[in-house]
Amino acid sequence: MIELNSRGRSIKSVKPLVMGVLNCTEDSFYEASRTAQYPAICKRIDDLISAGVDIIDIGGKSTKPGSMDIAAAVEIERISAAIKYLVNLETWVWSSVDTTNAEVARYAIENGIDIVNDVSGGNMDLQMIPTVASLGVPFVCTHMQGIPATMQENPQYEDVAEDLIQFFKEKINHCQQAGIREIIVDPGFGFAKTLKHNYEIMQNLEFFSILELPILVGISRKSMIYKLLETTPKEALNGTSVLNTIALQKGAQILRVHDVKEAQECIKIFTQLK
């Protein structure tokens, strides 16, 4: 069972949830997911809902390895049309904002978004955690060393799974002390991790249950798949489905994906077997 609450709304599900990616940028690592123009944004939202998405994750800034930060005003401009279209639909759907900037998070929540999803776990903007606390919404807390521009240069861990669990214990305490009531944990696959690190985390994902919080896994079409298989993001859907299924078996409760229909199929089969 997973339950989330945001400003009087709630979502309860006995099955894992699917978070669909909406990239309002021109520079996402997966070319087919780039929807910077308004007609493409609207179509992507409609397609995600038709495919059975549970949460739509709206982002206006790429956080792929080597990407640079942008001004909050630019990020807000990129996501504003998507937020307006989404919140005015007759079919209401849960949503999150994918940002490391507290100002952007506040804008999104005040305009109808439900969750803040920060790939830096609040480390890139020290106002993020108090801002989320003041807004009273769930917080996706992700592990990442450094910043996207340099995170893949030389990531170091003594024991990557144990290091992440310790990080989350400290970060969860910080968030709770600040007043955040609902936290979702994301190990941050691909964020300051080598291919070996990523698979060690996946191999030990069940140990994150010690945190007693929902676990979000975002491995959709990432380099841990296409580099291992010697292919491309475009050709990484099958590998994504395999890893999503393994993640479900190891306790993942939210899958963040580009391909919602296929993720829901993984969940349906997993749920039937369970």
Active site residues: 222, 256
Q: Do 240 and 219 touch, CB atoms closer than 8 A? A: yes
One-letter amino acid at 155 equals P
DSSP letters, 190-221, are TSS--HHHHHHHHHTGGGGGGG-S-BEE--TT
> What DSSP state is assigned to residue 34?
B
Distance of alpha carbon 245 from alpha carbon 43, whole angstroms: 28
Q: Do 103 and 75 touch, CB atoms closer than 8 A? A: no
Element containing residue 95 per DSSP (H, E): strand 94-98
Q: Which of 257, 169, 246, 252 is nearest to 214 (CA)?
A: 252
Residue written as token pair 């108090």: 130
Distance of alpha carbon 10 from alpha carbon 107, whole angstroms: 21
Q: Which of 91, 142, 92 is nearest to 113 (CA)?
A: 92
Distance of alpha carbon 27 from alpha carbon 70, whole angstroms: 12
